[in-house]
Structure formats: structure tokens, C-alpha cells
Amino acid sequence: MSLEDKAKQIYFSALQSVLPKNFISRYISFQNDTLYVQNDVYDLSNKKLYLFGSGKASLSMAKALMQVLENKVSKGAIVTYETDEVLSGVEILSSTHPIPSQKSLKAGETLLQQMSQLEENDFYIYLLSGGSSSMIESLKEGICLEDLQETTKILLENSFSIFEINTLRKKLSLIKGGGLARVTKAMGIVLVISDVIGDDLQTIGSAPFLQSKDTVISLDGIELPPMVAEALKSDEQTQKINEPKHYILASNSLALNAAKQKAQELGFTCNIKTDSLNVLVTKAAHLICEDLKDAKPFTCNLYAGECLVDVKANGFGGRNQHLALLSLFDLPSDAVVLCAGTDGIDGNSKAAGAFGSKNLLERANNRNLDARAYLDNFDSFSFFDAFEKTIITGPTGTNVMDLYIALKE
């Protein structure tokens, strides 16, 4: 088995560990009208149970959970990507990511309306995962969709972190920062797949069930639509809410541990270097390559997080493929790097990520392909695709950020 094949095995083992069908039943069970979640018990006798959710993983979470809950769910709504799938008694709404759209507004209003209709004796389960911030929205008075779309693009293009973006989004929204909890009388819980560094519940999905915390984000040099800029200056106080308990069921630590186990099975000495890599891709590539240069043979270094890239051209690719291509230039000759997202989508390409070794640059030269030009054009997908070195999964139904795997023979 080649070193590249081993890297792919490690990645797919990590990915399998964070698919809802493989972990939901480990933490949740239901028997005799009693719901067991980790170490907690909820008596649902004489209660109607409603199921809601949003994000890239919401549908796969719902499918896995409904297997556990059998026929207990009365009604609900799930917001996810475009899909033809059907869930008994649960409405499925399609939406968009990373730029919100009219579908996001429709989905947000549907969730607010349905949750506001719940009675005090009802109980809800909400499935929250990455992508929710874009997929569900209800805007404050004076903010229009076009302004929100422009603002989102500006923040993404200027390498604002997801924490910063979501903190700002909350000031424009009626659904974020506790908006869903604010409209309901019912009790419930929130089941979470974390897609953010540090598993910060204030950031995941922009916290639709948690009171916003006052945080100042610097916008020096950033020009936003006038109504947005005005709204961001306000320090409007909102009513206190009853915050439901949140359970983080999966995060990148689960994926990293599964990757480490597979690497060890393949004979590598494995090091989890960090679960919170959040630097520019140029710095990340340097770090990965320097760690490999000092590594002994048969070493596997694992990293997870979400690196930043300042996109300056209109090629095809994403942060993972860009990082993989950057790494090739300083990679030791006896090493392989694989960079891929767990959601299956990297940037504007159809790939989750890419992999390769230094000899890929030599093969490119032999075909008169200029790897540096692909970098400059932010066209990493086209480069790796030319050598069949992309990872194509399609939407995976989960999202615990990105994984970076570096192997040395």
C-alpha cells in the first residue's frame, strides 16, 4: 500500500467516526417514554416530542436519531442542503451556505413559527451543526437580505474568523443569539456537532438557543453597508431566556482519535499536534513541513482546525487544497500530506480536499504545468484534479472542521 493510500485510509477512518449514524446511538437511547442522553434522563410520558434542526449535518443527525426514537416524534422541521429525502412527520427545508439567501429567510421564519406554537408541556430536540448561521435567518428591522449577503461576502473575503463573523451576525438577527429559545414556552435540549475551535457554543450556528455575550469585534478599514454598520454599533439589550442544555456529541477530537488509531494500526508512530490550527495557510504549510523534517521514519502527524486564506483570484479550490499545494514545495521527499474538510466541500470546488507528495511537482514540470501559477490563481483543484489527487466525497452529512494528515516513510 502506498503512502498516499495510507493517508486516505486514515482520513476516511476519521470521517467515519463523526458520521451521526456511527455515534448517535452511543450517546442516546429511548425506552418506555424515557429519553437517555449521555448521563441525563428525560421523562417524556404525556409529552409531545418535536424535532427541529439546522446545518450541514442536521438531516443525517435526524435520520440517525429517529431510528432511536422510533415513532415518538410528533412533528418538526429540519433545514439542510437541497435534498429529495423524506422524514416521516418532519418537514425538510432546503437552504444555502455559505451565503444566506431567500431560502434562509424562509427556513428561519418556519422554525420561529413552529417553535412559537409549542405548548409548555411539549418537549423539543434541536439538532445543531455547522452551516446553520447561513441556512437559517430572520433579520432585524432595517436590514435587508442584500445587505446581509454583501456583509457575509466582505467578512469571508477579509479572513475574519468564524467566531468574529458569527458575533457580528447576531447583531443583525432575530434568530441568532438565543432567538429560537426566546419564542418558545416548551422545554428541550440541543444536540450539537461542533465545527468550531474550542467547541465554543456561542459560535456554533450563532447560538440560536443561548443569550449573546457582549464582544467587541474590530472593523477597522472594513466598509460595510450603511444599515449594517449602524446596527453593529447598537448595544440593544434583549430579554433573558431559558437556555436549554446543550450536548456536544461530536467534534474534531473524536475524528483525531479515530485517525490516530488507524495510523497506529498501519504501523506509524502518531502525534496529534493540535486540534485548533487557525492560522493563514502559508503559516500552516510551513508548520506542517517543518514538523516533518524533524520527524523520524514512520511518523504520522495529525492536525485539525480551520485555516485562513486570503483569496485574490477566481480559480477553483478551497483552503484545504490550497494548503496541500503550498505544502508540496517544502515537503520532504519521503513524505505525503493530505488536507481535507469533513463536510465534503472545500471552497468552490467539488472536492473535500487533496493529497500529494513532492514528486507531484516534478510530474507537473514534465507536463509543462506551473504549480506556482495554480497557486497564484487560487486554482488548486484544477492542479490536483489533473493528477487525480483530489478527495471527492460529496456532502458527508457531518462537519467537524478540517483534518491535515502528514506521513513520513
| pLDDT beyond 90 at 127 | yes
| C-alpha to C-alpha distance for 409 and 407, rounded to whole angstroms | 7
CATH 3.40.50.10180 range(s) for the chain read 19-250
CA-closest candidate to residue 79, choices 52, 113, 108, 54: 54
pLDDT at 352 over 90: yes
Burial 306-315 (b: 16+ CB within 10 A, else e): bbbbebeeeb
Residue 193, beta-bridge partner list: 250
Q: Contact, 54 vs 79, CB < 8 A?
A: yes
Per-residue pLDDT, averaged over 338-350, amounts to 97
Average pLDDT value for residue range 313-341: 97
- Which residue type is seen at 241? I
pLDDT at 365 over 70: yes
323/307 Cα distance (integer angstroms) = 8
- Tens-digit pLDDT profile for residues 143-183: 999 999 999 999 988 878 889 999 999 999 999 999 999 99
Please tell me the distance from the alpha carbon of residue 202 to that of residue 194, in angstroms, as a whole number: 11
* pTM over 0.85, yes/no: yes
Q: pLDDT tens digit string along 242-272?
A: 999 999 999 999 999 999 999 999 999 999 9
Pairing of strands 90-94, 73-80: parallel
Distance CA 10, CA 340 (A): 12
Give percent above pLDDT 90 in the chain: 89
Q: Smallest Cα–Cα separation from 55: which of 164, 195, 157, 165?
A: 195
CA–CA gap between residue 53 and residue 78 (Å, rounded): 5
From-to residues of CATH 3.40.1480.10 in the chain: 3-10+252-408
Q: How confident is the model at residue 238 (pLDDT cuts 50, 70, 90)?
A: low
Q: Which CATH class is domain 19-250?
A: alpha beta
Q: Is the pLDDT of residue 236 over 80?
A: no
Q: Letter for the amino acid at 212?
A: S
3-10+252-408 to CATH, choices 3.40.190.10, 3.90.1150.10, 3.60.15.10, 3.40.1480.10? 3.40.1480.10
Identify the three-state secondary structure at position 318: coil
The model's pLDDT over 178-191, given as tens digits with 9 standing for 90+, comes to: 999 999 999 999 99
In the prediction, which pLDDT does 157 show? Answer: 83
| Other CB atoms within 10 Å distance of the CB of residue 164 | 17
